[in-house]
Each structure stands twice: as structure tokens, then as C-alpha cells.
A and B are shown apart, each in its own frame.
Chain A
Amino acid sequence: MIVVKGGRVVDATGERAADVLIDDDGRIAAVGPDLSSARVIDAGRCVVAPGLVDLHTHLREPGREESETVETGSRAAALGGFTAVVAMPNTEPAIDSAAVVRDVLELGRKALCDVHASGAITVERAGDQLAPMAEMAALGVRLFTDDGNGVQDNRLMRRALEYASGLGVTLAQHCEDESLSAGGHMHEGEWSSRLGIPGIPSEAEELMVMRDIALARLTGARIHFQHLSTDGAIAMVRAAKAGGLAVTAEATTHHFTLTDECCASYDPVFKVNPPLRTAADVAAVKVGLSDGALDAIATDHAPHAQELKEQTFDEAPPGMLGLETALALAITELDLDLAAILALLSWRPAVIAGLSELHGGPIEEGRPASLCVIDPTATWTVDAAMLASRSRNTPYAGRTLTGRVRHTFLWGEPVVLDGEAQR
């Protein structure tokens, strides 16, 4: 038995000062004052919260193990306070069949967080033919996406939504109209024009959001919008929710902290898809996170080996690290109290991922003891060399942030103690 002592418990039901007793089966045995046990883990001046849940993680395994593995990615997740991640299916091979789902889940058994695979909507994420969603759903897959690409064909997307609704699973869309975005490497606007880098207009994202809202209305199916980055896209989702449609949406940490002006350095560490947008879009993401238009903060953690980012801006692949900095960026940059931030990083994404029985739930007797203990006032400086990810492509190197994960418990196991991964 372990007792997490002296902290302030924060979950969807509210806040209270309480100790948390964890039993040997990895569940919460008691929550209350003055609990004791042979093993005491200090949470003084800290917040004890349900573990964070990332809807959008690229673990790169199988296929790109030089950039990340399930083991290294899950260690980064645990250090970031995450106890569950949804692994994106754009691996090599893609997660588009029961066989690959099994592989990823098997790798995840030894990980430092729960690894939930998402499945591809179409075979090989090629956008031509529906992937066998039922056989993947039977293994527990709850979120399907062709992430990295959006489903371009209107009719195929309609069928996918209809089929998914019969399985009780959710489709998640990477919104990008490729006929408008083709050839682009950064947000199209003042900076791309000045820098001579081919641009991706906001409308490439917005057109697909618009189409998918129409298809959600047509089919009645649930849809989740991934990494929304534009003012217009967020406004459309807000309106769709007001109209009663079953849509949810996430935004990444980089889309509320960085703008397209960062690309003026030509350093591909700032290249990401969807691209960094304007200051007005950053403001819109912040508003969306505070007024409910956006349901969750996701990381879109996208590791790339050093040699891939040591190219020119247009040759380098898009993507940046996110797991180890997400919580601190939210605390540092958002004008929200910690409970609101935790809602965006823990219990709301847990519901979207279909994981609310296991993660993000209230801290009470009988629930799984997957928790994070946060020191909300600690400051630290991001050092790329110290990250647990196998890759180094963080755009925040040198930045000082407020809020640090002190401990992380996964099913009762202290996988992170005092900021150190335990395995």
C-alpha cells in the first residue's frame, strides 16, 4: 500500500485537501484526511489529479524506431503526467488491421503509460477503401483516424461515419483539403509571402471542417476534430455544437503558444502540420479552450530523428515534440485555473477516447490509481538534451515554464517520482 500524502485533490467533482491511499491491486483504497501506510509519497504543496490523457500521440513504432519507440514515448508521456495516450495509426505499416493493433497493444504492455491504439479509417490510410474497423473495435479501438491525412473523398467519409456509428466508435479527422494545401510548408499569409515558403491557407483546414460538420448532420454520427488551428474552424465547431451536433475538438499546445513568425528562422523545428498560424488564430484557440468550443488539449507529439530536421524547411518532415511540455505550457500560457486545465488534459479527453472507465475519472475508492501529482508553481527550463523522447525536436528549448509534474502513478505503480522516471 502507498499513501500519497499532503496534497490537494483536484478532479471533475471539485477540490479538497486529502491523502490518497493506493492498494496493491493498483486501485484507490481510500481518499481522506490523515491516511497512513508503510510507504509514504509526499505531495505537499502539490495537486493530486487524475492522470492526463493524450488524444494525439505519435509513438512511431512500428516502423520509425529511430525517431521514437513505444517505450521512449511512454516514458516521455509519464514524465509529462500522462497515464494514457492514444497512439496515431500513421506507423509503418499503418495501424489498419487487427494484427497491427495487437502488435502495438503488446508493445504497450511494458510501457510507462497505458497505450491505446487508434485505427486507420482507410486501408493504409490511402483514402480509397474502408479499413476493417469492426475487427479493430473488437480489440478495444475506440478512435479511428487517417491522421497525417484527412479523408479527401466526400462519399467515402460519409460511409465511414455511418459504419463507425454502428460500431459505437468515433471518427477523428485531420482536417486538410489536399488540393488547397498541396506543396505548402507553412501557414499562408504575411510571413510565408515574405519568406518565400509555399503556404497552406487556413481554408484548407476550414473546408474539411465545414464538410465534416455537414456529414455529421447527414449521418448523425459522432466526429472528433483533431488539432484545430484556425479561428474559422473553431468558430464552425462552436456553431455546430450550439446546433446540437455530436462534434468534439482538440487543439495542440503549439497552436496556442507559437505563431507563423517563428518560421522566419527557417529552422524546421517550427514546421508542423497544421502549420503554426497567426496571433489572431492563437487568440482564437485560447478562447475556444476557455468557452468550450474546444474540448481538449492534445500534444500531437511527433518525434523526428535529428537528421530529418537537419534539412531545409521544405525538405524536413512536419511535427514537434509535445508530451513533456504540454501541462506546463497550459499552466504558463492559458488564463485558466488548474481545474479547467486538467479538464482539458484529463477527464474530457478520456471521455472522447472512450477511456473514462479507466482514466480521467474522479479520485475515489475503487477507481484505478492512475494519477499525476503536479507542483503548479515550480518553474523549470526546457532542455532538449534532457528530454526522455528519443528525438530532440522541441520548439521550446530554453523556454522557462511554470508547473511541473512531480509524480506519476500508473495503476498504482509510481512510474515517475520527483520528476525522475523509475524505469
Chain B
Amino acid sequence: MKHLLSVEDLGGSDGINEVLDLTDSFVEVSERQIPKVPALRGKTVVWLFYEDSTRTRLSFEQAAKRLSADTMNFSVSTSSVKKGESLRDTVLTIEAMGVDCIVVRHASAGAPWRIASWVDASVINAGDGWHEHPTQALLDSYTIRQHLGSVDGTRIAIVGDIKHSRVARSDVLAFTALGADVTLVAPPTLLPASLDGWPVSVSYDLDAVLPKCDVVYLLRMQRERMTEALIPSLREYTASYGLTRRRVDLLDERTLVMHPGPMNRGVEIAAEVADLPRSVVVDQVRNGVAVRMAVLYLLVGSGVDLRRVTGA
């Protein structure tokens, strides 16, 4: 695998499970007193973030540093992009400095595909528009596997703004590839125009879905959706689709609550629900570092013996 642009690049459940199995090793590394291995020594990873992101960038940065990679940060707000440089010229310039991997986030769907067509370095998609965010799907799958033993056979409800969500698109691909039964719960205005070819069911009734799921995955609800006439108000959204304290009582005792962050407490998730033990949001963040170590290792660390670097 040269690039990780889409969950589909992993080649189905076997490929996804390979990353998740590898993640176990890196979770172990992360728990050491000195959580650092020389797997990517001498390799350079650059962050090319055309859209603001704090948590994803920090998570990748932590992952790369624990693998002993050198990292560079390309900050769009202070760069030549402001002077009108094209995306192609920017990435060719960065590549000429000698980089092994480009981690890109861009507001335009498909931007990582364009970049991958121009460079020899490996490209990791850290989120492209509404389209995909494959490492998020991997860390979500890992977190479910960690808590429930397996993704296969679980019933997962993804709730909220599916239409504009790269997390939802990647999660649907990963969860269904791993054998989960996925239900999308959202008002019709927040669903994609077409779900042809999506192996999911759809519901507009959260109360009916909640008793029958093992995972409730809540998406961030953005305020600007009101001005686009997609929902009348956040209040009405919360009343219909928010995970309120009352709705938690509809859940099975073992059901997990997940969220990709950052959470809008009081909108898609009630504040006290976010802090319940069944909420595994912090585990998602923690696992994110290990999953990204596994991905960076697979793409850039080829030839390096894992047992030697992890001592496992």
C-alpha cells in the first residue's frame, strides 16, 4: 500500500484487521515509560493542512514522533499559498525538499487524490471535504473492537449530519467491511442525496433505533446548517436527534457512545452523557495515536522489522 486515501485502499476486512492488529503493538509501545521506537528514523513526514485542525494534526504529530520520524509543518495561513501558489506547485516544492510522507487535510473532496497523482511520496488523507477521513474510521473500529471484542456483528447507529461528514463516509466503509450492521439516523436534509450502493439502513426515529444498537456514534452538528435551511434550529435538532439524558435510558447497558470530537455539549450530546463511563471519546483520541503509528509504519516504514523496533 503506497497511499491511504480511502478506507477502500485497505482492501476490505483483511486489510483493515491487519492495521488494527498492528495497532495493538503500538498501543503497547505507547504504554511504555519511554514510548518511542526507531521505526521511522531518517524518514520525514510533512503536515499539509489546508484546513484548521488541532486534534488530528497533534495526533499524527505524536504518532510520527513516537516512531522517531522527523516532521515538518506546512502552515497554509503563513505560506506562499496566500501569495497565489497552486496546490501542485506547493506539493512539488515540498517534495523537492525530501519528504517520505505527506499528511494532507483539505476542504476540497479529492485533494489527496490530486496530490498523489503528482508526487512520489506516500500520501495520507487526514480529511478531504465531505468525503473521507480513513484514519478516523480505523481508530473508531479499533475502539469498538477494544470494548466489544469485535466489530463484526455489532449494530452501529451513526447519528447526525451524514451529508457533510467525511467521518461518516469512512466509518460506513470500515464498519460495513468489518461486518457491522449500520443504521444512519438523520433528518432527510442531512443525508446524502443518494444512498445507492451504501450497505446501510436509514431511520428518522432515534428513539426506535437506540434500544437496538451496540454503538451510538454521534456526529458534530454545525451551527451553519441552520442558515442553509437544513434544520429549523439547533433546539429542534437536539429534541429529535440529540443524545439527551432521557434517551440514554433507552440504551442497553453495554452500548457505547462515540463521537469524533470536538463535541457540542448540549446539542448532539448532553453534557452529562458525554461524561458517562459508556462514553469512550477519550479512548478514541488515545487510540488515534496508535492507529496513526500503525498507518505511518505500514506506508513509510517498509523494510523495518517491527519485532526489532518494538522489541515485541
Determine if B132 and A312 form an interchain contact, defined as CB atoms under 8 angstroms apart. Answer: no
Least Cβ–Cβ distance between B143 and chain A, in angstroms: 23
Binds B, one of A26-34, A81-89, A186-194, A413-421: A186-194
Interface presence of A196 (CB below 8 A): yes
Q: Which of B83-122 contact A (CB under 8 A)?
A: 86-88, 106, 108-111, 113-114, 117
Asked whether, in the complex, the Cβ of A192 is within 8 Å of the Cβ of B193, the reply is yes
Report the Cα distance A35→B130, complex, angstroms. 66
Interface hub of B166, B169, B193 (most chain A Cβ within 10 A): B193
Q: Which residues of B contact A188 (CB under 8 A)?
A: 193-194
In contact, A189 and B193 (Cβ under 8 angstroms): yes
Least Cβ distance of B108 to chain A in Å? 4
Instruction: Judge if B129 is at the interface, Cβ distance under 8 Å.
Output: yes
- CB atoms of A196 and B131 under 8 A apart: yes
User: B113 touching A311 by the CB < 8 A rule?
Assistant: no
Report the nearest A residue to B106, measured CB to CB. Answer: A312
Q: Is the CB of A197 within 8 A of B109?
A: yes
Q: How far is the CA of A188 from the CA of B163 in the complex (A)?
A: 12
Shortest beta-carbon distance from B170 to chain A in Å: 10
Chain B 192-203, CB-CB to A under 8 Å as 1, else 0, gives 111111100000
Interface of B is mostly: loop
Query: B110 to A266, Cβ gap below 8 A?
Result: yes
A190 adjacent to B109 (CB under 8 Å): no
Cα–Cα, bound, A112→B285 (Å):
64
Q: Classify chain B's interface size.
A: 20 to 34
Interface string of A299-313 (1 = CB under 8 A from B): 000000001001111
B128 in the interface, Cβ–Cβ < 8 Å? yes
A151: min CB distance to chain B, Å: 24
Contacts of B192 in A (CB 8 A): 192-194
When the two chains form the complex, which single residue of B114, B129, B197 contacts A194, counting CB atoms closer than 8 Å? B197
Inter-chain contact A266/B113, CB cutoff 8 Å: yes
Name the contact of A312 in the complex, choosing from B111, B193, B196 (C-beta under 8 A): B111
Chain B residues closer than 8 Å to A201, beta-carbon distance: 193
Identify which of B88, B106, B113, B130 contacts A310 (C-beta below 8 A). B88
- Report yes or no: A197 in contact with B86, Cβ–Cβ below 8 A: no
- Judge whether B108 and A315 touch: CB under 8 Å: yes
- The answer to whether A196 and B130 have CB atoms under 8 Å apart is yes
Kindly identify which residue among B130, B169, B194 contacts A189, using a CB–CB cutoff of 8 Å.
B194
The yes or no answer to A265 lying at the interface (CB within 8 A) is: yes
A368 within 8 A of partner (CB): no
CA gap between A41 and B194 in the complex, in Å: 56
- Smallest CB separation, B193 vs chain A (Å): 5
Q: Is the CB of A266 within 8 A of B114?
A: yes
Give 1 or 0 for each of A174-199: 1 = CB within 8 Å of chain B CB. Answer: 00000000000000111011111111
* Complex contact A310–B197 (CB within 8 A): no
What is the interface of chain A mostly: helix, strand, loop, or mixed? loop
Report the Cα distance A314→B87, complex, angstroms: 13
Q: A189-B193, A193-B193 are in contact. Are A312 and B166 (CB under 8 A)?
A: no
- CB proximity to A under 8 Å, residues B164-200: 166, 169, 192-198
| A interface residues, tally (CB under 8 Å) | 22
- Known interface pairs A196-B166, A196-B169, A307-B86. Does A190 touch B194 (Cβ–Cβ under 8 Å)? yes
Which residues from chain A contact B196 at a C-beta distance below 8 Å? 189-190, 193
Q: Give chain B residues whose Cβ lies under 8 Å from the Cβ of A189.
A: 193-194, 196
Distance in angstroms between the alpha carbons of A197 and B194 in the assembled complex: 12
Q: Which residue of B lies closest to A183 (CB)?
A: B228
C-alpha gap A198/B117 in the complex (Å)? 22
Contact B110 A312 (CB under 8 A): yes
Of residues 18 through 67 on chain A, the ones whose CB sits less than 8 Å from some CB of chain B are none
- A193 close to B114 (CB less than 8 A): no
CB within 8 Å for A193 and B108 given contacts A310-B88, A312-B114: no
How many angstroms from the CA of A285 to the CA of B214 in the assembled complex?
Answer: 48
Which chain B residues border A313 with CB–CB below 8 Å? 108-110, 114
Determine if B87 and A193 form an interchain contact, defined as CB atoms under 8 angstroms apart.
no
Given A266-B114, A312-B114, also A190-B197 (CB < 8 A): yes
Task: Knowing A189-B193, A199-B193, A312-B108, say if A265 contacts B113 (CB, 8 Å).
Answer: yes
CB contacts (< 8 Å) of A192 on chain B: these are 192-194
Quick one: closest A residue to B197, CB to CB? A190
| Across-interface contacts of B169 in A (CB, < 8 A) | 194, 196
Give a binary string over A184-224; 1 marks a CB under 8 Å from any B CB, 0 the rest: 00001110111111110100000000000000000000000
State how many angstroms separate the Cβ of B111 from the closest Cβ of chain A. 5
> What 1/0 mask marks residues of chain A from 62 to 74 whose CB sits below 8 Å from any chain B CB?
0000000000000
Query: What separation, in Å, do the CA atoms of A313 and B108 have in the docked complex?
Result: 7
Query: Once the chains bind, are A311 and B110 in contact (CB under 8 Å)?
Result: no
Nearest chain B residue, comparing its CB with the CB of A307: B86
Smallest CB-CB separation from B129: which chain A residue?
A: A196
**Binary flags per residue of B30-66, CB closer than 8 Å to A gives 1, else 0:** 0000000000000000000000000000000000000
- Given A195-B131, A314-B108, 20 more contacts at CB 8 Å? A188-B193, A189-B193, A190-B194, A192-B193, A193-B196, A195-B110, A196-B129, A196-B166, A197-B110, A197-B130, A265-B113, A266-B109, A266-B110, A266-B114, A311-B86, A312-B108, A312-B109, A313-B108, A314-B129, A315-B108
The 8 closest A-B pairs by CB, nearest first: A266-B110, A196-B131, A312-B108, A193-B192, A196-B130, A196-B109, A190-B196, A266-B113
Residues of B within 8 A of A (CB): 86-88, 106, 108-111, 113-114, 117, 128-132, 166, 169, 192-198
Residue pairs across A and B with Cβ atoms less than 8 A apart, 7 shown, are A192-B193, A193-B193, A193-B198, A310-B86, A311-B86, A313-B109, A314-B109
